Amino acid sequence: MVHAIEFQNVTKAFQGSLHNAVDQINFTAEEGEFITILGSSGCGKTTLLKMINRLYEPDAGTIIVFGENISTLDPVKLRRRIGYVIQQIGLFPHMTVGDNIAMIPNLLKWEKEKTEARINQLLTMAGLAPEEFKNRYPAQLSGGQQQRVGLARALAADPKIMLLDEPFGAIDSITRTRLQDELLTLHRGMNKTFLFVTHDIEEAFKLGTRVMIMNEGHILQFDTPEEIILHPADGFVKSLVDSARAKEQFWEKFRYPREYR
Ligand SMILES: Nc1ncnc2c1ncn2[C@@H]1O[C@H](COP(=O)(O)OP(=O)(O)OP(=O)(O)O)[C@@H](O)[C@H]1O
Q: Is domain 5-81+161-260 annotated with CATH 3.40.50.300?
A: yes
pLDDT at 256: 43
Using the predicted structure, report yes or no on whether residue 254 has a pLDDT greater than 70.
no
Distance in angstroms (rounded) separating the CA atoms of residues 124 and 143: 18
User: For residue 42, how far is its CA from the centre of ligand 1 (angstroms)?
Assistant: 5
Using the predicted structure, report yes or no on whether residue 241 has a pLDDT greater than 80.
yes
Q: Which residue, among 48, 78, 83, has the nearest Cα to 65 in the 3D structure?
A: 78
Average pLDDT, integer, range 242-251: 66
Using the predicted structure, report yes or no on whether residue 255 has a pLDDT greater than 60.
no
pLDDT tens figures, 143-184: 888 988 998 898 888 899 999 999 888 777 877 888 888 889
Pairing of β 82-86 and β 161-165 = parallel
Q: Which residues are CB-contacts of 243 (< 8 A; sequence separation ≥ 6)?
A: 201
pLDDT tens figures, 5-22: 999 999 999 988 888 999
User: For residue 11, how far is its CA from the centre of ligand 1 (angstroms)?
Assistant: 13
pLDDT tens figures, 107-154: 889 999 999 999 999 898 888 899 999 999 999 998 888 988 998 898
Q: Does 44 contact ligand 1 (Cβ within 6 A)?
A: yes
- Per DSSP, 36 falls in state E
Q: Which residue, among 72, 37, 28, 60, has the nearest Cα to 163 in the 3D structure?
A: 37
**In the predicted model, what is the mean pLDDT of the chain?**
89
The larger pLDDT score, comparing residue 251 to residue 243, is at 243
C-beta of residue 48 within 8 angstroms of C-beta of residue 214: yes
User: For residue 66, how far is its CA from the centre of ligand 1 (angstroms)?
Assistant: 27
**3-state secondary structure (DSSP) of residue 248:** helix
Q: In the structure, what pLDDT confidence band is assigned to residue 259 with cuts at 50, 70 and 90?
A: very low
* Beta-carbon-side half-sphere exposure of residue 126 (alpha carbons within 13 Å): 28
User: For residue 56, how far is its CA from the centre of ligand 1 (angstroms)?
Assistant: 11
Using the predicted structure, report yes or no on whether residue 55 has a pLDDT greater than 60.
yes
Closest ligand 1 atom, residue 197 Cα:
22
pLDDT at 78: 92
Q: Is the pTM of this model over 0.90?
A: no
Question: How many degrees, rounded to 5, is the angle at CA 93 between CA 89 and CA 95?
Answer: 110
Average pLDDT, integer, range 181-209: 90
pLDDT at 165: 93
User: For residue 51, how far is its CA from the centre of ligand 1 (angstroms)?
Assistant: 12
If you take atom 31 of ligand 1, which residue's CA is the nearest one? Answer: 42
Closest ligand 1 atom, residue 49 Cα:
18
Domain boundaries, the chain: 5-81+161-260, 92-158
ipTM for the predicted complex: 0.92
Percent of the chain with pLDDT over 90: 59
To test the pocket of ligand 1, the residue of 10, 15, 17 to mutate (highest count of ligand atoms within 8 Å of its CB) is 17
pLDDT at 207: 93
pLDDT at 249: 58
pLDDT at 123: 92
pLDDT at 244: 76
pLDDT at 261: 38
Q: Does 42 contact ligand 1 (Cβ within 6 A)?
A: yes
Distance in angstroms (rounded) separating the CA atoms of residues 210 and 92: 33
User: DSSP states of 155-177 as a string?
Assistant: HTT--SEEEEESTTTTS-HHHHH
Using the predicted structure, report yes or no on whether residue 257 has a pLDDT greater than 50.
no
User: For residue 14, how far is its CA from the centre of ligand 1 (angstroms)?
Assistant: 9
